[in-house]
Structure 1
Amino acid sequence: MKTRTKVFITLVALSFLMVLFLYGTQSYFHYKEINLASDRCYEIGGTPIIEKDFLASNYSFSCEVSN
């Protein structure tokens, strides 16, 4: 294999690993944030409502408190 091809394959592999790492980091912090918000919602007697979008890595959170 040519050196140029090896460099290209290495850059593609590193880019792929970087994207996986960044996506994983974002997912982890969203998970921690949702858990904290849910715990706080339960503390005030509410019910957390969470909608997650898997592919876009988005979520919405609301706390329904009944009186």
Structure 2
Amino acid sequence: MKLKTKLLLSVIGLALLTTVFLIGSQSYFNNKEVNLASDKCYQKGGQPNVEMAFLTLDYSFSCDKK
């Protein structure tokens, strides 16, 4: 392979690896945040209501009190 081809493949691979890492990190911290908010909601006597969007890695949280 030519040097330019190897360099291009390396850059593409690094970009892909970085993207996967960032998406995984965001998903992990969203999960931690939802779990903490749910625990606090249960402590206040409420029922957590969480709606998660798959493709945007977004969520909506509300605590419905009884």
TM bucket, shorter chain: over 0.9
TM-aligned CA deviation for residue 45 of structure 1: 0.7
Identity of matched residues, %: 50
Structure 2: runs of 5 or more not aligned? none
Consecutive unaligned residues of structure 1, counting only runs of 5 or more, are: none
2-structure distance, mates of 1:22, 1:6: 24
Q: Helix, strand or coil for the counterpart of 1:63?
A: strand
Q: Does residue 29 of structure 2 align to residue 29 of structure 1?
A: yes
Q: CA RMSD in A?
A: 0.4
Give the TM-score taking structure 2 as reference length: 0.98
Report the alpha carbon displacement of residue 52 of structure 1 after superposing the two structures with TM: 0.2
Q: Aligned with 1:56: secondary structure?
A: coil
Query: What are the residue-to-residue correspondences of 1:44-63 with 2, within 5 Å?
Result: 44-63=44-63
Cα shift at 1:34? 0.1
Runs of 4 or more, structure 1, over 4 Å off, are none
Opposite residue 41 of structure 1, the aligned amino acid is C
**Distance in 2 between the 1:55 and 1:45 partners?**
32
Which whole-Å deviations, capped at 9, do the CAs of 1:14-52 have from their partners, x for residues lacking one?
A: 000000000001001000000000000000110000000
